[in-house]
Amino acid sequence: MIHFPKRTVIKLLSVIAVSALCFSLMASLIYRYDNKYTRRTLQPIGGLLALSEKDLQENACYFLAEGWSFYPDKLFTPETFAEEGAQSFAQIITIGQYNDFSFGQPQRGTNGSATYRLLLSLPQTPYTYSLALPEVFSSYRLYIGGTLISELGNPSPEHYRPAVNEQVVTFTASGTTEVLLAVSNHSHYYSGLTYPPIFGGPSDVNRVLDIRLFLRIASISLILLIALAAFFFWLREHNSQQVTLLYFFACLCLLGYTAYPLITTFCTLDNQVWYALELLCLYGMYPLVIILQNKLWHLPARTDRFIWGFMSLFCAAAICYALLPTSSYTVHRLFELSARIIKMFTAGWLLINALLAAWHEEEKSMILLSGTTVFAAALVCDRVFPYYEPIYGGWFPEYGGVFLILCLGFIILKSLTDSYRLQLTLTEEKRQLTRQIAMQKIHYQELSEKIEDSIRRRHDERHHLKMICMLLENNEFDKLKEYLMDYHLSATNEERAVICTNLIVDAILQFYRHQCQEKQIALTLETDIPADIHISNTDLSVIFGNLLENAYEACLRQNRKDTYIHLTAHYRSGSLLLRIENSSDKPPSKKSGKFLSAKHDGYGIGTQSVKAAAARYGGQLKYDYNENFFRVSVILTEQADSKS
């Protein structure tokens, strides 16, 4: 029987509940306050919108969502409407009630023509007004007050030519003014006017559009910066190239999907090609995100192949659907149903994998669980909330997609940061090991020389004894005394000079004395450290080794000839006092109060290691420097914590 830890279950359910609740509350606020359908302004009634001067002063903009007169299968002009309009059948509809011209009837095709009509009862004083038309699928003629104001594409069935763009028309009107929109569609999934227009004064309408444009550009810029950062890491990080490349393409897909409204703001599009690209970006992002999640949690590769195959088939079908338009009601509903299934499958797959990763306590799994929950909640909200079209912001799936991408980006960035830190740590350990090997090599050379010298001395001792015996036999005591003095001096000169009685410190000092002699760096040493002290050999090696290495390498980088290193180290009353000063020709670089490394990008690891070692003994670390010298002082007093 499987045991489910109560604490883990509560933790997972809490993350899911809090994430879903927070996004649902945010979605509710967005739906209430950033929605053309719920903004509390006057709406047309029975095809008529009556506005007084007071109404125009109290409300800057009107979102014309309700009460439009709708004439299916009719392509009116003001002249033909005057002749046939009264006898034609008209529905009073809400914009978005029908997203195609089948009107929910399977026997009808989804393409065709229709006319939207609205009467504006305006003040008798002529004013200038603006009407912002969103995307109208897929060609239209706009008449205001009996005059052709705008034409996009060609809605005539005989010469049909699609074109999609968001337009703002400005006109001067007074009294009763007719707005007539004649639309044809034979090339898009949607048909006709599916999003409410905005009506008001030119400055007020433009302000709404400018705010929306600013927010859209800001979000696209953010996604673009994240994509460029992912591409940069893909070029630099060889160990995680596949993950960063997948993330880069996922960002590009999200960028293409969210940038589509911005493109239609500035460009008139052949909607078939651009709609195909929009679908490719939308449904191409889903498999990329799933496979990216699989890579992060190291799931089997066969799962990736299944996802690629399944999702690739749907993406290919979506592109064919966009490029080969059809008026079949069945095909449109089948694609709509398949798209919903793909979205729910993606959300479910991501949510299950995130739950499994969090269940097995994978690192940073809770972040992904939260992002996946928000993404799933966004897809649900997109279906639950009826009649939603944002005034300023974006659609719910866009919010969920951006949040999921940010969560994945944070996880990848954290993994890259950890990998980089590990790489720096391994590099530092390798450098320390290389230094120790060099020190051992010098020690071995000195030991070999001592062995050879000992053999030579034992060989020469016979000759010395013979000489001493001969001088004694001849009673040549003065010569004997002179001979013994010379022998003593030669033996003393050949002895290895001991710098410090502490073997670890002595080995380090011997190594850097040898290095400084080779590079002609003046090294002055004053040490008094006993063999047994309370500081561990490892910490002694870290402190003396790193500080001397930094001083030595600093001298190598200088252009001045009188480079020097002065070291003073004493052990008094249980405290180690160390001061190392070296010459300098420029102050060291610092950032956020930390020294930057001269060997790699980032902070100096050696100085951080010394700081950590000093902290274990309640020590103090002080730096003094200018353009001529650099001095570091260390005082270690207490015993190190046994747990550190």
pLDDT for position 561: 83
Rounded to whole angstroms, how far apart are CA atoms 152 and 168? 12
In terms of DSSP bridges, do strands 198-200 and 192-193 run parallel, antiparallel, or are they unpaired? Answer: unpaired
DSSP line for 108-139: S-S-EEEEEEEEEE--SS-EEEEEEE--EESE
Q: Tell me which of 5-14, 351-360, 395-404, 483-492 is least confident.
A: 483-492
Instruction: With cut-offs at 50, 70 and 90, classify the pLDDT of residue 369.
Output: confident
Do residues 137 and 270 make contact, with C-beta atoms less than 8 angstroms apart? no
Residue 37 Cα to chain centre, angstroms = 35
CATH of domain 498-644: 3.30.565.10
SS (H, E, C) 21-86: HHHHHHHHHHHHHCECCCCCCCCCECCEEECCHHHHHHCCEEECCCCEEEEECCCCCHHHHHHHHH
Helices and strands of the chain, counted as H and E runs:
14, 20
pLDDT above 50 for 644 = no
Averaged pLDDT, 91-111: 87
In terms of DSSP bridges, do strands 147-152 and 48-50 run parallel, antiparallel, or are they unpaired? Answer: unpaired
CATH of domain 6-33+208-422: 1.20.1070
163, 198, 416 from 135: Cα distances, Å: 9, 12, 42
Q: Tell me which of 7-11, 366-370, 626-630 is least confident.
A: 7-11
Averaged pLDDT, 427-443: 65
Looking at per-residue confidence, does 511 or 4 come out higher?
Answer: 511
Distant-in-sequence, close-in-space partners of 11: CB < 8 Å, separation ≥ 6: 358, 366
48-200 and 498-644 have identical folds: no
DSSP-derived letter for residue 466 is H
Distant-in-sequence, close-in-space partners of 319: CB < 8 Å, separation ≥ 6: 276, 279, 280
Q: Residue 557's closest CA among 599, 605, 607, 609? A: 599
Q: How does pLDDT run across 59-99, given as a tens digit for each residue?
A: 889 999 999 999 999 999 999 998 888 788 889 999 988 88
Backbone CA torsion sign across 97, 99, 101, 106: negative
Q: Which element (helix H / strand E) includes 141?
A: strand 139-144
- Indicate the SS3 state at residue 267: coil
CATH superfamily membership of 48-200:
Galactose-binding domain-like (2.60.120.260)
Q: Tell me which of 175-189, 380-394, 412-426, 434-448 is least confident.
A: 434-448
Residue type, 297: W
pLDDT for position 278: 84
Length of the chain: 644
Q: Residue 242's closest CA among 284, 290, 287, 296? A: 296
Q: Tell me which of 269-273, 348-352, 401-405, 589-593 is least confident.
A: 269-273
Phi first, then psi, for residue 506 (nearest 5°) are -60, -40
The widest CA-to-CA distance across the chain, in whole angstroms, is: 154
Instruction: With cut-offs at 50, 70 and 90, classify the pLDDT of residue 490.
Output: low
Averaged pLDDT, 6-10: 75
- Indicate the SS3 state at residue 641: coil
Q: Tell me which of 152-156, 246-250, 500-504 is least confident.
A: 500-504
pLDDT above 50 for 2 = no
Q: How does pLDDT run across 301-343, given as a tens digit for each residue?
A: 667 778 888 888 888 888 888 888 778 888 888 888 998 888 8
Write down the mean pLDDT value for the chain: 83
Residue 354 Cα to chain centre, angstroms = 19
Q: Residue 127's closest CA among 169, 173, 168, 170? A: 173
Distant-in-sequence, close-in-space partners of 488: CB < 8 Å, separation ≥ 6: none
Averaged pLDDT, 473-492: 67
Tokens 């004083």 correspond to 125
In terms of DSSP bridges, do strands 522-528 and 564-572 run parallel, antiparallel, or are they unpaired? Answer: parallel
Question: Is the bond preceding residue 365 a cis peptide, omega within 30 degrees?
Answer: no
Distant-in-sequence, close-in-space partners of 351: CB < 8 Å, separation ≥ 6: 369, 372, 373, 376
pLDDT above 90 for 391 = yes
Averaged pLDDT, 21-25: 94
Q: Which element (helix H / strand E) includes 484?
A: helix 477-494
Looking at per-residue confidence, does 366 or 466 come out higher?
Answer: 366
Q: Which residues pair with 152 in a beta bridge?
A: 140
- Domain ranges across the chain: 6-33+208-422, 48-200, 498-644
- Residue 40: CB atoms within 10 A of its CB come to 6
Q: Which residues pair with 633 in a beta bridge?
A: 579, 622
pLDDT for position 142: 96
pLDDT for position 473: 73
107, 346, 596 from 61: Cα distances, Å: 39, 39, 56
Whole-model pTM: value is: 0.71
Reading the block at residue 58, the tokens are 């109290």
pLDDT above 90 for 565 = yes
Q: How does pLDDT run across 122-153, given as a tens digit for each residue?
A: 999 999 999 999 989 889 999 999 999 999 99
pLDDT above 80 for 516 = yes
Q: Tell me which of 38-52, 71-85, 250-264, 557-571 is least confident.
A: 250-264
pLDDT above 90 for 363 = no
Rounded to whole angstroms, how far apart are CA atoms 274 and 321? 12
Q: Residue 554's closest CA among 529, 579, 576, 584? A: 584
Rounded to whole angstroms, how far apart are CA atoms 18 and 96? 32
